[in-house]
Structure 1
């Protein structure tokens, strides 16, 4: 196993913290070596210094995305934390329909391979029904990884990842590729606006406020100051009364100024 020096660990940890808000304390040193060692060897790097230079030079973001996947334990699948989707359908969409006719603005921040925004798109298709053609319901779906966004754009998933979806949705919104995989039909794929975006950007270039922002299981690795700053930027870009969804293992804590707690991991802008 390749060893990581004090200087190399400091370089990587400071880079990850400054660019992506994730804090890697000294206790994570063994984790870095264990989870990245085989990656470095398979890619032909002879040191963590060479690997770090590769991360800095990689303009696609795929290298960093792979690194973040290695050092975190996020899992993405359809209908994850299903109570959120029920709340979205039963509470958020009726409110949106009442306050913003024909324009529903939803952001899936940290969309990974697309399961979350596609689930939201199916919910909106069902909710608006025959009125759907009158509505702008495209979902902004962002991630830092070109690889993840490419997978979301293709919308291809193995059958086992489809198990949690209602049969009606599988039949209506997916087509079988005949090899144990299914692809989201083009009409639903067009409901996503996929963009590369780093949540650590100080400026969010959005002209209109969102009715709901989903940022689930992203902030769990952020330190408190980084999380607080991000939450306040979310608040600035939410419409009055807009909703913020975070992961069930996350919390805004007691210092959630400007948000009212509604139920686990669901907050509303005051």
Structure 2
């Protein structure tokens, strides 16, 4: 009996019920492929919390409102694959074209990255701005990254990255903005202090009040996980939090379903839009 190890095996029906709950709670859509992919992770999560029945697990996240367990579940099903300098042409257009034009009109510029994952995108934007050099002397730029995954927010604040994460960065940038710590790369503290990272749900109805408004929003490779209805909610949020004529940067697969009465494309092929 001392060697007994409890096991958990979730049925497809139980996973579908969980998927319905997650869609209502955080908006993420888990299709059949994702349900199969995340099944083992959730079974292991239940064992970690000493839960062996689905009914107990479901009751704790839905009715007992166990926030620690719920956050662990959210962290298990969110996808956080990213790296520095990903689709870097957008960063360069921002730093060399859009920000210089904005800096002629206003002193304070706010940029939101949603989702931020572990911070690579926020810091990549920062590097592009610093490399351009002129805008940073004329404007105060505030950068905010949000993500529903609390583990990713912690990683972003620490700013410690693997070789794989930074390998797309030019060598001189790695040497300029990081300190080598063993096999890892640590963002220099002077750059970390210019970024703010917050754990937040994009579907939080009070989010726009908490964050205020922005001149620029980056949202890349998130909308592909939402269905049409949830995408509409996100685009409505972005429209609400963007200042007049603000800019929206999307990933190559995110623009399907964008409301062209709200946003117009301004850079063909680069998935950059402006609020109408």
Moved over 6 A (4+): none
Aligned length in residues: 264
- Map residues 102-251 of structure 1 onto 2, 5 A cutoff: 102-129=107-134, 132=136, 135-177=139-181, 179-203=182-206, 204-206=208-210, 208-251=212-255
Offset from partner CA, 1:187-240 (integer Å, 9 cap, x none)? 110111111211001231257531110111111111111111210110111122
Corresponding residue for residue 253 of structure 1: 257
- CA–CA distance in 2 between the matches of 1:60 and 1:37? 13
Task: Give the deviation of 1:256 after TM superposition.
Answer: 3.0
The question of whether the paired residues in 1 share the 8 Å contact of 2:149 and 2:199 is answered with yes
What is the RMSD of the two structures over their aligned residues, measured on CA atoms? 2.6
- Map residues 86-97 of structure 1 onto 2, 5 A cutoff: 86-97=92-103
Q: Does 1:12 align with 2:15?
A: no
Structure 1 residues 197 and 66: alpha-carbon distance in aligned structure 2, compared to 1, 3 A threshold: closer
In structure 2, the gaps of 5 or more residues are 1-6
Task: Give the deviation of 1:110 after TM superposition.
Answer: 1.0
1:141 counterpart SS class: strand
- CA–CA distance in 1 between the matches of 2:157 and 2:32? 37
The question of whether the paired residues in 2 share the 8 Å contact of 1:220 and 1:249 is answered with yes
- CA–CA distance in 2 between the matches of 1:267 and 1:67? 32
- CA–CA distance in 1 between the matches of 2:39 and 2:90? 36
The question of whether the paired residues in 1 share the 8 Å contact of 2:228 and 2:257 is answered with no
The question of whether the paired residues in 2 share the 8 Å contact of 1:211 and 1:243 is answered with yes
Structure 1 residues 133 and 98: alpha-carbon distance in aligned structure 2, compared to 1, 3 A threshold: closer
Which one scores higher on RCO, CA 8 angstroms, separation ≥ 6?
1
**TM-score for both structures, normalised by structure 2:** 0.84
